[in-house]
């Protein structure tokens, strides 16, 4: 995410797409990438078995999350991805909890311009020029936009009091048991 402050879109030289959502989103995205950038290699990082039907293995590599379990393996993955010098990184953020930690850690470690693809197939560049879109996206994903915002904020405000009540109740019950025993 090194290019967050810049609104300039670099030329597509090497692309990494992280398949962290429904497969149909990637299958719809890839033909457009191949058509608009015919000479650009497109690599894939996924947790799914098999390949998307529109992925062209002759145009890119596949990295599987299952091959990089454990801290040393993850370090090796980050080194391999950094060595490939991606300048464009695509994240699928479809509201599904698939590879959430993986995709954001890779996005933080790879110095590439990031685009985010949502569940509708829309995308936006993750940069300061789109800060309103990014803010709305984050608030929506956190449940803090629309009618659910009041309920979510209410739950957040009540959580400490609920926890305190439960802890006090448990303490009183245990003290009563000790006194009567």
Look at the chain and count its residues: 181
The residue that leads in pLDDT, 120 or 74, is 74
pLDDT at 170: 95
Query: Which residues contact residue 53 at a Cβ distance below 8 angstroms, ignoring those fewer than 6 apart?
Result: 27
pLDDT band at 175, cuts 50/70/90? very high
pTM: 0.72
> For the chain, what are the domain ranges?
15-141, 146-181
pLDDT band at 169, cuts 50/70/90? very high
Residue 174 has pLDDT above 90, yes or no: yes
- Concatenate the DSSP letters of all residues of 88-147 into one string: EEEEEE-SS-SSHHHHHHHHHHS-SEEEEEETTS-EEE-SGGGHHHHHHHHHHHTT-STT
pLDDT at 134: 72
Q: In CATH, which of 3.40.50, 3.30.420, 3.40.1620, 1.10.3470 is domain 15-141?
A: 3.40.50
Query: Which residues contact residue 22 at a Cβ distance below 8 angstroms, ignoring those fewer than 6 apart?
Result: 92, 94, 96, 119
**Which two structure tokens, joined as six digits, stand for 36?**
């608009």
pLDDT band at 5, cuts 50/70/90? low
């Amino acid at each position: 995410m090194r290019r967050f402050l810049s609104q300039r879109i670099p030329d597509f030289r090497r692309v990494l797409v992280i398949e962290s959502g429904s497969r149909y989103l990637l299958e719809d995205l890839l033909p457009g990438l191949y058509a608009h950038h015919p000479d650009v290699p497109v690599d894939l990082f996924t947790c799914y078995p098999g390949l998307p039907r529109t992925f062209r293995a002759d145009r890119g590599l596949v990295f599987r999350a299952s091959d990089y379990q454990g801290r040393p393996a993850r370090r090796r993955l980050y080194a391999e991805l950094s060595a490939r010098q991606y300048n464009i990184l695509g994240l699928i953020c479809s509201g599904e909890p698939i590879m959430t930690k993986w995709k954001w850690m890779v996005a933080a470690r790879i110095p590439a311009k990031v685009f985010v693809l949502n569940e509708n197939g829309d995308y936006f560049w993750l940069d300061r020029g789109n800060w309103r879109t990014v803010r709305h996206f984050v608030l929506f994903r956190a449940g803090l936009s629309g009618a659910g915002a009041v309920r979510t904020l209410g739950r957040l405000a009540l959580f400490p009091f609920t926890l305190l009540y439960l802890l006090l109740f448990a303490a009183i019950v245990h003290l009563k048991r000790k006194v009567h025993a």
